[in-house]
Amino acid sequence: MDQQPVAIVTGAGRGIGRATSIQLAQAGFRLALLARTKTDLAETARRAGEEKCFVLPADVANSSLVDAAVAQTVQRFGRLDAVVNCAGQAPMFFLQDTTDQMWRDVLDINLSAAFYLCRAAWPVFKRQKSGAVVLVSSVAARDPFPGFAAYGAAKAAINSLGWSLSREGADIGVRVHVVAPGATETAMLRDLFSPQQIPTDKTLAPEDVARVIVSCVRGDLVHSSGEVIYLHK
């Protein structure tokens, strides 16, 4: 088996997912990059090093596609050392305007997708007796803006999911970390807030968040398994 480590990154097409992919590649990882938009993934692969990347366009809210992506990654690289769930959406709508479908969609992409990824990777980690999981949460889990009822609830559930999985993983060598950044300078943020509402000097750079994620993956923060790591500027 090739000893060069392998990571799956979801939401890899833009923002924190792209920055994380680039930094993991620089740290010596081979990568499976998941997101819905093939052109975005291709650009991430170009920046990370195409020879290190396996591009897998997929809707990670679809469990069968996530299962297939994990299987394809292991088949291609022969191993899987880490999964990083960066996929997410942060639509803002108030309670009275939230339809059943809107609620389900937010939970699917922000919560269920992370669960599907962990569930699919778990047997591989168990067989290898090692693995790392990083779930990207948000400060909105504990301090949501008005209109973030669904998003905040999903991210709070991510925090709990991380705690639960860290306990399940302890006996099989799997670490689980939750990274919860505040406002980060991404297209998702700017779709919601102008620089006048949230000035750029008050936001984190995606690369700032990525550095913490990579530290978790590499084991630098081994004793924080289960903890929620909040990042602020």
Report helix angle 206-218 to 15-26, nearest 10: 50
- For 204, list phi and psi in degrees, rounded to 5: -80, 155
Residues of the chain under the 70 pLDDT cut: 1
- Cα distances from 170 to residues 66, 155, 156, 167, 195, in angstroms, run 24, 23, 22, 5, 43
CA distance 64 to 42: 23
Which pLDDT value is given to residue 223? 87
> pLDDT, tens digit, for every residue of 186-215?
888 898 899 999 999 999 999 999 999 999
The pLDDT, as a whole number, for residue 103 is 96
According to DSSP, residue 111 is labeled I
Domain boundaries 6-231, corresponding CATH code: 3.40.50.720
SS3 content of the chain, % helix, strand, coil (to 5): 55, 15, 30
Is residue 49 left, alpha or beta, with left meaning phi > 0 and alpha meaning psi from -120 to 50? left
23 vs 1: CA distance, rounded Å = 23
Give the pLDDT of residue 173.
96
Catalytic residue selected from 44, 134, 151, 225: 151
Q: Look at residue 1 in the predicted model and tell me its pLDDT.
A: 54
Structure tokens at 79: 């191993």
What's the predicted TM-score (pTM) here? Answer: 0.95
pLDDT for the residue numbered 186: 87
CA angle 160, 183, 65 (to 5 degrees): 55
Q: What is the pLDDT of residue 228?
A: 96
* pLDDT at residue 65, as a whole number: 98
* Burial group, residue 22, by CB count within 10 angstroms (0-12, 13-18, 19+): buried
As a whole number of angstroms, the distance between CA 101 and CA 137 comes to 22
Q: Known catalytic residue: 151?
A: yes
Residues pairing with 30 in the sheet? 6
Residues 82 and 133 sit within 8 Å (Cβ to Cβ) = yes
Is residue 82 within a helix (H) or strand (E), and if so which, with residue range? strand 82-85
